[in-house]
Chains A and B, each alone.
Chain A
Amino acid sequence: MIQVEHLTKKFDDVVAVNDISFTVKEGESFGFLGPNGAGKTTTIRILTTLLPPTSGKARIAGLDVTKASDRVREKIGIIFQDPSLDERLTAYENLYFHAALYRIPVREIRARIDKALAMVELSGSRHKIVKEFSGGMKRRLEIARGFLHMPRVLFLDEPTIGLDPQTRKVIWEYINELKRDFGVTLFLTTHYMEEADDSDRVGIIHQGTIISLDSPERLKRKMGGAQIVLLSRDDNERKLKNLKIGFKTLNDHIYIGVAGGSPRDTLNRMLSSSVNLDEMIITQPTLEDVFIKLTGSAIREEAAGPMDHLRMVRRARGKHR
């Protein structure tokens, strides 16, 4: 459905997208994961005919995005990173205008809009001016709009950026519904791990290059299995040595890598030797770990908070593998 070959985009001297190639199959969801400025939005802009590439080719449903841009635009729907609604019109009017632009037959428009609004649960606000909508409502309306003309490919550029976790969850329910019920091909960019995790395949993009491309499961599997983290107290280290369980220590924390399968055996053995497990966590590798391992940097710089402990776990994992 999407074919990209040696795509490159330069802005003056800056190479925003550097010779990337990939394909997305029909009905597949493809996630582009990377930090801000990695080239995600530039790629989307090229694929959606908003920006001509410097070199290379991109085709959507077999149509070249530069040579047949008008026809490509008929096949795609886009949910932009930034708001793109007419805030002075009502929700209904925004959708009506969209339907008219995409030449949905007049007698069908009403029914389609009703259905789209019902799906994103905005039926009650249809005649409200969009300016009065909350951020989440606007986003939902944009999703309804992006799919109103039944595109074959739906592009989602950071669809949930700046939204609270609950709204993000709701929005993902809608998006997954579209994929499940209509078989629409999804191309999304994100820097949220959880969102990339739900994609069929993930391309990790860093400084304009795709550095890894696979299903999230396989990407994570390459990182090895789970990891048990406990505090170094009560002779824990000595007991582990006696049990011949390999570990590393860092800042009073003990890190035990569990190669392959479940950590149950290791835990049983530790319990029987009365290792102190009062404070313990088991972590599975995340896409963030994959990203850190591949690039040596984190996707997001976050402020210190309650997640610090977990993040330290991740860092340690990156170091000793």
Chain B
Amino acid sequence: MMGFVRRFLYGSWIIWQRDMKRMLRDKHQFYGSFARPVLWLVVLGMGLRPVFKESGGVDYIQFIFPGIVAMSLIFSAMWSGMSIIWDREFGFLKEILVAPIPRTSIVAGKIMGGTTQAMVQGGITLIFAPLIGVKISLAGFVSLIGIMVIISFTLSSMGIALASRIYSYEGFGTISNFVIMPLFFLSGAVYPVQTLPSWLKVIVSLNPVTYGVDLMRGAVLGVFQFSIVEDLIYITAFGIIMGMLAVVLFRRY
């Protein structure tokens, strides 16, 4: 009998492997991860550029670039929740639930899968940086990757936690839109949030993406709104809480 830790790691690894296999097979998602950033950079960037002119001393397209990366992470990380709904609908979840691996390893494997997928998609977004004149230093790049991992982990956990309690595509689609849109728009990703009414500012300050975007903008453009420590503590704590919530909710499934 293997120890729990080994069984946990092994189970997570197997679950993760399957998600990777599925991801590599899904060409549409791959194309989407190219198309989406282009779309947003063009639609938002070109469209709003004249209105904003200079945002915090930088060009608008450069300003929203970290936000576009964040958006890629938000969408694909939340999508990992969808994969649980999908597995449940097609009955495959039962196959996993009756397997002799700990339940927690199913959650962990799914969160890892969601994180990896988000990283791949977010990574693809980074390719566009040179095209819009964003220059990232090596140190900036390394810290950017680290920040992206934390954000992806946090949002994947959130997606899994949601999916543990929602049982239909439609339900998850609706709820996740309610979550994704505020996460994205109320994070300072596309416009500065200092001028928002105070009640909206409350939401902004609770939104983990706010701190993630702040960190990424700091890494890429060297502009911070909060302190690095503040950012890191909040988003990491939020991620850990979401991870635990996902484990608890999924266990009871």
Task: Give A residues with C-beta under 8 Å from B.
Answer: 48-50, 70-71, 73-74, 76, 78, 80, 82-89, 93, 97-98, 100-103, 145
Contacts and interface: CB of A to CB of B under 8 A. Distances in A.
A145 B95 CA distance: 10
Interface string B12-29: 001001100110011000
B40 interface: no
Contact of B98 (A49, A82, A93, A97): A49
B14 A88 contact: no
Contacts of A88: 22, 25-26
A89 B22 CA distance: 7
A101 B100 contact: yes
B102 A84 contact: no
Contact of A70 (B25, B26, B94, B100): B100
Contacts of A74: 100
Interface in B135-160: none
B253 to A, nearest CB: 10
Given A48-B98, A101-B101, A84 B14 contact: no
Contacts of B91: 80, 82-85
A83 B102 contact: no
B90 A100 contact: no
Contacts, number: 64
Nearest to A73: B100
Contacts of A83: 90-91
25 contacts: A48-B98, A70-B100, A73-B99, A73-B100, A76-B98, A78-B94, A78-B98, A83-B90, A84-B90, A85-B90, A85-B92, A86-B18, A86-B90, A86-B92, A86-B95, A88-B26, A97-B18, A98-B95, A98-B99, A100-B17, A101-B14, A101-B100, A102-B99, A102-B100, A145-B95
Contact of A89 (B14, B21, B96): B21
A161 B240 CA distance: 44
Contacts of B17: 97, 100
Contacts of A82: 91
A84 B22 CA distance: 16
A51 B30 CA distance: 38
Contacts of A145: 95
A251 B56 CA distance: 94
A-B pairs, 5 with minimum CB distance: A84-B91, A101-B99, A74-B100, A73-B100, A84-B95
A84 B102 CA distance: 19
A100 to B, nearest CB: 5
A78 B94 CA distance: 10
Contacts of A50: 94, 97-98
A222 to B, nearest CB: 37
Assign chain B's interface to a size class.
Answer: 20 to 34
Interface in B58-94: 87, 90-92, 94
A80 B94 contact: yes
Nearest to B94: A84
A74 B101 CA distance: 9
Residue from A73, A83, A103 having most chain B Cβ neighbours under 10 A = A103
B104 to A, nearest CB: 11
Interface in B97-156: 97-102
A243 B10 CA distance: 78
Contacts of A102: 99-100
Contacts of A76: 98
Contacts of B11: 101
B61 to A, nearest CB: 37
